[in-house]
A = this chain, B = another copy of it.
Amino acid sequence: MNRSMTKMIDVARHAGVSLKTVSRVLNNEPHVQLALREKVKEAVRELGYVPSASARSLRSNRTYSIHLFSHSLRSNFVNSVQFGALHTCQVAGYRMVVTMLDQAKTVGIKELRAWFETLVNSGKPDGVILVPPMSNDPEISKVMSEMNIPVIRIGPNDIEDGGGTVTIDDHAAAVEATQHLLELGHRRIAFVRGKEDQDSTHVRFRGFSEALEEAGVSVDPDLVLPGLFDFESGLAAGDRLLSYPKDKRPSAVFAANDHMAAGVLVAAHKAGVQVPDDLSIIGFDDSEIAETMWPALTTVRQPLYEFGSVAMEMLIQNSGKNTRIEGERKVLPYALVWRQSTGPFQG
């Protein structure tokens, strides 16, 4: 600790300037001549000076840290986003703090506010990234905006609320996935929904329905099953679908994410149903799991890493200026990834 504690005043003395001048150089403030700037920067290099984060944030009310809020880290989605965010974060010299929002503690908006206030006082983040399902929660966004904390929400389809957004076009992606199955000749296509509190569930289902209708195929309610975005609910949905009599069974399944698609795939294996010959399966996300299944899952790739990375970039760009990020909305490209779990309809 001791040896390495170079302070700003040391840099100032070393460069033969005042404390304030060093501060100006480090913060890229104007009113310092170029020659002096260089001299200071060299002194910083020579001494290996690093500003003290605590002193800085005490004085300036900035923490140089971005919080990632999630319910759980144990999903591929959150994980990939986190990875992208962290990468960008570190390059910019910020810290990334991971915070888990305990659902029990945030039942009401009052508890939510109290919880956030604790968080904020103890070290107000320069920005916050919200992943689903929190990115859909209007109360959370409201509280954050009241506290004047810039927020980027990942994944939501609504445009309304405050803060920035990073998404794909869920609707178009669902349409394209469905058309993929239609083009392969499938007509009886099942859909496994995700969690109902996430609007991508609804948007994807709407895309699915509309694509079917456009192709002159009506949606069979028996082929629309509930799901929770996890493996188990996919497995349950698969078991259910395969328990139907042969003529009632679907020839293809569109699951709202890869974990559920994996569940359907395992259900098929258990039932001795060949994939893709007897049943085509398409997922959504392009999780790691999609590639490690057999057969590998056809899916819609969401740029999860980029979600995190872009969100972080937006926050860091914004940080410093005290403007709130209002309604900025980035829509990133998705891509259909055709692997082995989908194939032509076998009359």
Q: Which residues of B contact A259 (CB under 8 A)?
A: 292
For the complex, give the distance between the alpha carbons of A76 and B100 in Å.
18
Closest to A56 in B: B54
- Tell me whether A117 and B50 are in contact (CB under 8 A): yes
Q: Which residues of B contact A122 (CB under 8 A)?
A: 50-53, 64, 93, 95
- Tell me whether B95 and A96 are in contact (CB under 8 A): no
For the complex, give the distance between the alpha carbons of A208 and B95 in Å.
42
Q: Which residues of B contact A294 (CB under 8 A)?
A: 265-266, 269-270
Q: Which of A98, A117, A295 has the most C-beta atoms of chain B within 10 angstroms of its own C-beta?
A: A98
For the complex, give the distance between the alpha carbons of A214 and B128 in Å.
57
Closest to A48 in B: B117
- Tell me whether A58 and B61 are in contact (CB under 8 A): no
Would you list 25 pairs from A and B whose C-beta atoms are within 8 A, ordered by A residue?
A1-B124, A1-B148, A4-B120, A5-B121, A6-B121, A50-B121, A52-B58, A52-B122, A53-B54, A54-B57, A54-B58, A54-B123, A73-B79, A73-B82, A79-B79, A86-B98, A90-B100, A93-B122, A95-B99, A95-B122, A95-B123, A96-B98, A231-B288, A265-B294, A293-B293
